[in-house]
Amino acid sequence: MGTISTADFRNGIVVEMNNSLMELVEFQHVKPGKGGAFVRTKLKNVLTGRVLEKTFRSGERMEEVRLIEEKYQYLYNDGDIYHFMHNETFEQIGVGKDIIGDKKQWMKENMDIALLFNGSTPISISLPNIMELTVAVSDPGVQGDRAQGGTKPAEMETGVSIQVPLFINEGEVLKVDTRTGQYIERA
């Protein structure tokens, strides 16, 4: 961690503000004809994803935070703790379900996941944007319902339920977007 000023701003840096980690998404230096210069910014909360617009006086200082992303393999969970293994050192780490959040519905055992660390403390996980999942439970499509391109619910192997086209059957492997929870195509 180090102190930076508004002159050091660049997209992607993470700063600590009000006990939250904020990533600089966009910034613009403004020099009005009258008065002091300022910097208009858009900041995204690293943990929640909420975007905040904030204006800083030129030369204002704040703490920069260095976040480290490392590849881990998801092993298993035992209730409130999810266990991961580092891909190179084979060191195992336990992460609480409060950090995993809603992303647990997409996690399969032995899949690779990126863990985001602030120092040695895990603060977030990052899943692949597109995953291949097997349909565990799905009602058969009714003949004649295909004219309008209808959909039906299907429960995937991880337990998450998504909308799929009527022609999809149990046991098929599908590509699913983990950001939106939408069916993309058959794998």
CATH for 29:
2.30.30.30
Coil, helix or strand at residue 128:
coil
Residue 49: phi, psi to the nearest 5? 85, 0
**Domain containing 96 — which CATH number?**
2.40.50.140
Q: Looking at the structure, tell me whether residues 50 and 94 fall in a common domain.
A: no
Residue where one domain finishes, among candidates 22, 45, 65: 65
Q: Looking at the structure, tell me whether residues 44 and 30 fall in a common domain.
A: yes
Helices and strands (H, E) in the chain, number of each type? 1, 16
Q: Looking at the structure, tell me whether residues 18 and 54 fall in a common domain.
A: yes
Q: Looking at the structure, tell me whether residues 100 and 134 fall in a common domain.
A: no
Per-residue pLDDT in tens (0 to 9) along the chain, 187 residues: 678 888 888 888 889 888 888 989 999 999 988 888 999 999 998 887 789 999 999 889 988 888 898 999 999 998 889 999 998 999 999 999 888 888 889 999 999 999 989 888 898 888 888 999 999 998 886 665 555 667 889 999 998 999 998 888 899 999 999 888 899 998 8
Q: Looking at the structure, tell me whether residues 6 and 58 fall in a common domain.
A: yes
Q: Looking at the structure, tell me whether residues 111 and 145 fall in a common domain.
A: no
**Domain containing residue 38:** 2-65
User: Number of structural domains, the chain?
Assistant: 3
Closest listed residue to residue 146, CA positions, set 130, 166, 163: 166
If one counts every other C-beta atom within 10 angstroms of the C-beta of residue 49, the result is 9
